[in-house]
Structure 1
Amino acid sequence: MKRKKKKYMMFSLAILLFSASLFLLSCNKNQDNKPTVSEKKPLSYKEIPIEYESFRKVIGWMSDEEVLIHSGEVNNDTLSLFNIFTGETEPIYEARSIILTAIISENQQQIVIQVASENGGELRVIDRSGAVVQTLPLETKGFVNVNWNPADQHHIFISYYQSDSNMVVGDWNTETNEIVSIPSASLTPLWYSANLYLYVDNKEDFSLETGELYMGDIRTNETLRLKSQVSSFFIHDDTFITFTPSDFAEDELLLSYQYPFMVDQSFMSIPKVTMNNRLVFPYLSQAARNTPVYGVFAKEAAQLELETGEFEFGELDFENKTIKPIIDLPDNAPISMAHNGKYSLYGWRFESIIDIEQQKIYSLISMPN
C-alpha cells in the first residue's frame, strides 16, 4: 500500500514538473514573439481625403497628431482639423471668401486668418471650434505678415506695405482690438517675450549681407541695437541663432548659437546659398525648449538661379560644429517640428511629413497622375 502511494506521489510530481515546463516554454515563446522597441511597427501616416485641386496647404500643428488644413473652392475657403494617423477630418471654419493668411497661436488654441475682399478684407481670430473671437478691418489687399506672441496670446504683430514706400508694423491687442505702431526697420519683427521683440535692420542692402540686430520694448516704444553683422536670425523659446556671411570663406554662412538668449555658446559654418545675389537663409525648427534644432541645409554652396542645389534634413550639432544628416530632400523648402520632436512637416505647402526615426518622407496629399 505504501509502495503504491509512493509511486502515485512520484507520478503526480512528474506531471506537475512537465506542466510547469510546458508553461515556461509557452511564456518564453510568447515573450519571443513580442516586438522589441526596434521592431515596433512603423507609424502609418494617412493621406488627406481632399482632391488635389481643392488642397491649398497644411497650415501647421494643432497637436502632436492633428494638423490644420486649408482647402477651398472658388471664393469659399475652409479650415479643417486632420489626424495624420487616423485620417479623421473635422471641418471647423468656412470663410465664405478667400483665406490669404492663417497662423496658429503658440498654445494651439486659436488661429488668426486674413480674408480677402474688394475693400481690403479683415483679420479674424477664431478658436478651435471655429467661433470668431475677434475681427479687424484691413486697409491693404496684400498679404499681411503675422507673428503671434508666444507668452501673451492677446498680442499679435501685423505688418504690411501700405504703399511702395510706406511700411506698417503694429502690435494688435486682440482684447481691446487696438493697434499700436511699433518702431521696426523690418517687416518681420519677432516676439522674444511678452514685451520684447527682435528685428534686423539690413540697411536697404538687397543682398542681405549687411545687418544690425535690434531689440524693442512695446512698453516704452524704444529700441536698442544689440549687435552688428547680423543678416537674419532664428529664435524659439531660449534658443537664438544668428546668420552672418563668413569673413573666412566666400561660400560659407556663419551660424552663432546662444542659449539662453544673449549667452554665447558656440558657432559653426554651413554652405552658403543665394538667389540672384541675395542670401537664402536655412529653414530651422525646434520642437520644444532645450531640444535639437533641425533644419534644411545645402550640401554644397549653391546659386539657386543657376542650379537647383542638393539639400538635406539634418540636426545642428554646435558642440562638434557640424550637421548630423538625417535624410536627403528634393527641395529647399520650409519645415515645422511637432512638439513631440518625432516628425516634421515639410514642403512649400507642408504637404509632406519627415519621420526622423524612420528617416523617410511621407506625402500627406495624393498627387495627380
Structure 2
Amino acid sequence: MNVKSANNLFWLMIIIVLPLLLSACTEPVQEKPKAPVKTEKNRPPKSTVSEKEWKLPIAVAEGEFYKSAGWLADNDILYITNLEQTSSLYRYQLFTGKSELIYKSNAPIVNAQISSSKEYILIHSSPSSYEGIVTIIDTTGSVLASQSIASYELLFDWNPYNDSEVLISKFNEDWSFEVLLLDTQKATISKLSLPQPFVKWTGNHKYGFLNWDDNNPSLYAPLIEMEIGQDEGSTLFPAIIQFSPYQDILLTISANATENPQATYAFFDGEMKEVFSFTSPLLSRFSDWLIPFYDYYASGSQFAALKPKISGEADAYMDGFDLEFYNLKKHSSKVIMSGLENEPIQFSPSGDALLYGNRFEKIIDVSKRKILDLIKE
C-alpha cells in the first residue's frame, strides 16, 4: 500500500465511525429556517463550576445513553439516548439534574451537532444503511428543515459564520465522493466542484482543504483556499499535515520527519500574520502522523491540546497524554492534567470545563483539575 492510499484509507475509516448525514441531490429541503438570532449569553460566575453543585451522573429518563453532542450553555449539555429503533435528544441541566426532551426520532440518531451560535441543532438519523435524514431544529425542538437523502457515508462542516450553510462530503460505496453545500436559508442542496472531500470553512464565503497529490504520495500537502463559486483557489501554506480554522484564528500543524519528530502548531490572524506557535512531540504511523485531539476557546484565546510526552511510534506509545493549555495572547502555557487517553475534548462556552471522551461521557473541571462522569456505567 503506498503512502497516499494508506493515508486516504485511514481517514475513510475515521468517517465510518462518524457517519453523518446527507448525500447528493439537488432537490430542495422541505422547510426554510428562520434567520439565526444572535443573543448575548449570561455566563454564571466561575465558582459555579463545581462537582459539588453539579448533579451527576445523569439519570437517563428513557432508553440508554448513547453519547453527548455538546454544550448548549455553560451548564446545559445535549445528549442522545436510544430505545429499540428510536432515539431521543435531551437537554440536561447540570445544576438541577433535570433532563428535558427536545426531539424524538423514529430512526436511530447517528450524530447531532450544535451550531456555533448555540441557536440550532443539526441531527443526522439513519433509518437504513443507505439512507440518511438530516433534520435542523432550534433549541426548543421546532423543526426548521428536514430532508431524506440516499448515502453511504457522510461528513459535514457547519459554517461558523452563517448558521444556514453546511458543507457535506458524500461518499459512495466505492469511495468516490461529492462535496455539497446545504443552504437552509435558500432551501437548496448544490454540488461543489472540489478535488478533495475533507473541506472546512475558512471564512463566510471561503473554504479550505489539503490538496493531496494522488500521483506523488507524501506526508505533507498544500493548504488551498477557495471562494464559493470559484473554480480555482490560492495556496495558503505549501506543506502542512493538518489545519483547523476558527472564527478569529487559523491553526496549521506542520511536522519534521527527523529521528525525533516534532509537530509545530502555528496560529494566524485574519491577515495571515502568525500570532503564536509551539512545538510538541510527534507520534508517527505507517503512512502519516497521529495528531492528538485539541480544541480552541476563542473568547479567552485559550487553546487546549493533548500532548504525548515523547516522540516515537504511535503503536508502541504507552505513556499517556498531557492536557496542556496555551494562552495565545500571553504566550504562556500550563499543564492541567497528565496521564490522559487521547480522546476528543470540547470547551464549554465559558472555558471553565471540557467535555471529554469518545462519547463525551465525561467532564473535565478545569479549575479543580478533576474528571467527572456524566454517566454511571
- Is the shorter-chain TM-score for this pair beyond 0.5, marking a shared fold? yes
Match of 1:132 in 2: 143
1:340-368 deviations in Å (ceiling 9; x for gaps): 1111111111111111111111111102x
User: Is 2:283 the partner of 1:273?
Assistant: yes
Greater length-normalized contact order (CA 8 Å, ≥ 6 residues apart) = 2
Question: 2:168 is aligned with what amino acid?
Answer: I
* Aligned partners of 1:233 and 1:242 also within 8 Å: yes
What SS is found at the alignment partner of 2:233? strand
1:203 Cα offset (Å): 2.6
Alignment of 1:202-241 (within 5 A): 202-204=212-214, 209-241=219-251
With over 3 angstroms needed to count, the CA separation of the structure-2 counterparts of 1:239 and 1:303, relative to structure 1, is same
Match of 2:120 in 1: 110
1:342 aligned residue (324, 345, 352): 352
Percent of residue pairs bearing the same amino acid type: 21
Structure 2 portions without partners, runs of 5+: 1-45
Match of 2:36 in 1: none
- Farther off after superposition, 300-309 or 239-248: 300-309
Question: 2:202 is aligned with what amino acid?
Answer: Y
Match of 2:320 in 1: 310
Task: Provide the C-alpha distance between the structure 1 equivalents of 2:303 and 2:216, rounded to a whole number of angstroms.
Answer: 28
* Aligned partners of 1:295 and 1:313 also within 8 Å: yes
Alignment of 1:7-22 (within 5 A): none
User: Is 2:32 the partner of 1:56?
Assistant: no
Task: Provide the C-alpha distance between the structure 2 equivalents of 1:93 and 1:196, rounded to a whole number of angstroms.
Answer: 32
1:113 Cα offset (Å): 1.3
Question: What RMSD over aligned residues (CA atoms) do the two structures have, in Å?
Answer: 2.8
What SS is found at the alignment partner of 1:62? strand
Match of 1:194 in 2: 204
Match of 2:10 in 1: none
Alignment of 1:34-53 (within 5 A): 44-45=53-54, 46-50=56-60
Question: 2:137 is aligned with what amino acid?
Answer: I
What SS is found at the alignment partner of 1:305? helix
1:313 Cα offset (Å): 1.0
1:323 Cα offset (Å): 4.7
* Aligned partners of 1:116 and 1:141 also within 8 Å: no
1:207 Cα offset (Å): 8.7
Structure showing greater Rg: 1
* Aligned partners of 1:230 and 1:243 also within 8 Å: yes
1:176 Cα offset (Å): 2.7
- Farther off after superposition, 218-227 or 294-303: 218-227
What SS is found at the alignment partner of 1:78? strand
Question: If the length of structure 1 is used for normalisation, what is the TM-score?
Answer: 0.81
Number of aligned residue pairs: give it: 330
2:343 aligned residue (333, 336, 345): 333
1:160 Cα offset (Å): 2.3
With over 3 angstroms needed to count, the CA separation of the structure-2 counterparts of 1:42 and 1:115, relative to structure 1, is closer
1:170-190 deviations in Å (ceiling 9; x for gaps): 110112331222233433311
* Aligned partners of 2:210 and 2:224 also within 8 Å: yes
Question: 1:44 is aligned with what amino acid?
Answer: E
What SS is found at the alignment partner of 1:121? strand
User: Is 2:369 the partner of 1:359?
Assistant: yes
User: Is 2:85 the partner of 1:75?
Assistant: yes
- Farther off after superposition, 349-358 or 286-295: 286-295
Task: Provide the C-alpha distance between the structure 1 equivalents of 2:242 and 2:217, rounded to a whole number of angstroms.
Answer: 12
Structure 1 portions without partners, runs of 5+: 1-36
User: Is 2:261 the partner of 1:251?
Assistant: yes
With over 3 angstroms needed to count, the CA separation of the structure-2 counterparts of 1:211 and 1:341, relative to structure 1, is same
Question: 2:235 is aligned with what amino acid?
Answer: R
* Aligned partners of 1:59 and 1:70 also within 8 Å: yes
Please state which structure has a larger fraction of its residues in helix.
1
Match of 2:165 in 1: 155
